[in-house]
Every structure is written in structure tokens, then in C-alpha cells.
Amino acid sequence: VQLQASGGGLVQPGGSLRLSCAASGSIVKINDMNWYRQAPGKQRELVARIESDGSTNYADSWKGRFTVSRDNAKKMGFLQMNGLKPEDTAVYYCKAFLVIRGRTGTYDVWGQGTQVTVSS
């Protein structure tokens, strides 16, 4: 079971990126899927959360610019980032709470992170 984050890159201020998070393995269900970021020298912080029913929550810093979504059939989550600013530069991680086939309970799994750099 693993999560694979992708879609990061170098973008100019004001630009957009769409991050993807793909889950693979013996997954019965994906509960919450969260996006975090870790800027250089800073602690990892929560950016957005999407629950299995599609309900979303955003940290105040990213409300209105970022949109989180998911495709349950494809076991994927997405973070659409618009109006990017230099201070959005960070490594972005996805984290999901998974129900795994053959196991009881829910397991939290992290993706490997994808670098987003906003610079002119």
C-alpha cells in the first residue's frame, strides 16, 4: 500500500499547478485525504482536507486559492493551486487514512512529497 504524489514543479507567481495523489495496493476504502506542506526551515502544516463524502476543509492561508478534490473510483486525490505566490514554495505531501484489505482499523499513510517552487 502506498501513496504517490506528483504534479509539482517550477511555476511563476500567479500561476497554477495541480497536484495528484494516487493510492495503490490492497485498499478497501480511503477515508480522509489530506494535503500538507513543509516550507524550508518550517514545520509541516496542514493545507487542506477532503473527507470520503467530499466534505472539505482548508487552512485559512489557502482558502479561496486552493481546491482539494478526489476521485474515489480511481483512488486519487488532487490539490488545485491557483494564484501561486513565492511563499507557497514548499514540499507538498498527501496523507490518507486507509482501510486495507485483510486488516482491521484505519491506517494513515504518507506520500513521498512533491516540490513546488514559485519563482520568477
Dist CA 32 CA 116 (whole Å): 23
Of the candidates 37, 38, 2, which has an alpha carbon nearest to the alpha carbon of residue 21?
2
pLDDT for residue 9 is more than 90? yes
pLDDT band at 61 (very low <50, low <70, confident <90, very high): confident
pLDDT band at 88 (very low <50, low <70, confident <90, very high): very high
Count of beta carbons in the 10 Å neighbourhood of residue 103? 12
Could you report the per-residue pLDDT of 31-44, keeping only the tens digit for each? 999 999 999 999 99
For 87, the 3-state DSSP assignment is helix
**Grid cell of 42 as nine digits:** 518550517
Instruction: Report the percentage of the chain scoring pLDDT > 90.
Output: 91
